[in-house]
Amino acid sequence: MNLKHLLLATTVALGVHAAPTQAQDAAIDAMQEYMMFSDYEAGIILPQQLDQTVFETALFVDTRDAEQFEEGTIPGAVNIEWREVLDRIDEIPEDRMTILFCNTGSLSAQAAFALRVAGRSNVVVMQTGFTGWQQDAAYKP
């Protein structure tokens, strides 16, 4: 191997090694930007705020696993497990409020954060989750 080939191989190796670091830096930058410019209560909704109008216009996404979804969910909700939201982002509309929920709000909060960092400002997490909706929802069909 001559010097020219060695330099080329070294350049390629360094470029491949740096790519994950650059991707990680871009992800961190996107999260920091989102967090710095979000309002304190941006991205959340309470069950008490779910009146009939909200219920009839929003898409509800149950982020729990399929078994929990089958046991019971909010009427009309679709099931997209929290880990799959970015893989299935095309199923989440950009033109209407989308309310993510799990049992208590912790897993759906992670999913909502990922979607909001990915640019979906219409996505909110329902605090207190399905349990809170069962107890405190302003409207239940």
- pLDDT, tens digit (0-9, with 9 covering 90-100), for 58-86: 999 999 999 999 999 999 999 999 999 99
pLDDT at 20: 60
pLDDT at 43: 80
Using CA atoms, how far residue 36 sits from 33, 40, 45, in Å, is 5, 10, 20
3-state helix, strand, coil in the chain (%, to 5): 55, 10, 35
**DSSP assignment letter at 103:** S
pLDDT at 38: 44
- Note whether 89 and 111 are within 8 A (CB): no
Name the phi and psi angles at 62, rounded to 5. -85, 115
pLDDT at 40: 44
pLDDT at 126: 96
Residue ranges for the chain with pLDDT beneath 70: 1-42
Tell me the C-alpha distance between 84 and 111, whole Å.
Answer: 8
pLDDT at 47: 95
Q: In 11-140, which ranges are E strands? A: 44-45, 59-62, 78-79, 98-101, 123-126
pLDDT at 35: 47
Amino acid in the structure at residue 89: I
Q: Rounded to two decimals, what is the model's pTM?
A: 0.74
Tell me the C-alpha distance between 86 and 8, whole Å.
Answer: 36
